[in-house]
Amino acid sequence: MPEQPRAEDLLNFPCDHLFKAMGPNSVIFIEKVRRAVAETVPIAEDAVKTRASTKGNYLSVTVRVHLENFDQLTRIYASLRKIDELKFLL
């Protein structure tokens, strides 16, 4: 059976990366996502994009950041998973 590649070997660092979090359609949720990412890396003014669901109940928040290493990637995902209102994370 072939050996599985290590997760950290699947991306070439440094790189730009998109984090997408889905949750309730609220300014508070957007700010929580922004803060969770900003704990690890700086965020540019135009790096956060939002899109409401068809009925407007949910929101996807996409944040584009520049990552220097795999550790930054895992720290950001860990911070995002701590958001109580989070429904889905890509």
In tens, the pLDDT along 57-81 reads: 999 999 999 999 999 999 999 999 9
pLDDT value of residue 8: 74
Q: Report pLDDT for 4.
A: 79
Give the CATH number of domain 12-89; options: 3.30.70.260, 1.10.3720.10, 3.10.28.10, 3.10.20.30: 3.30.70.260
Residues 6+ apart with CB under 8 A from 64: 16, 17, 18, 44, 47, 49
Q: Which amino acid is it at 69? A: N
Residue segments in the chain with a per-residue pLDDT below the cut of 70: 1, 7
Rounded Cα gap, residues 50 and 61, in angstroms:
5
* Residue 7: per-residue pLDDT: 67
* Inter-residue contact 29 to 58 (CB < 8 Å): no
Rounded CA-CA distance 79/81 in Å is: 5
Token pair for 22: 């889905």
- Tell me if 21 sits within 8 A of 61, measured CB to CB: yes
| pLDDT of the residue at 1 | 66
Structural domain boundaries of the chain?
12-89
Residue 79: per-residue pLDDT: 99
pTM score: 0.90
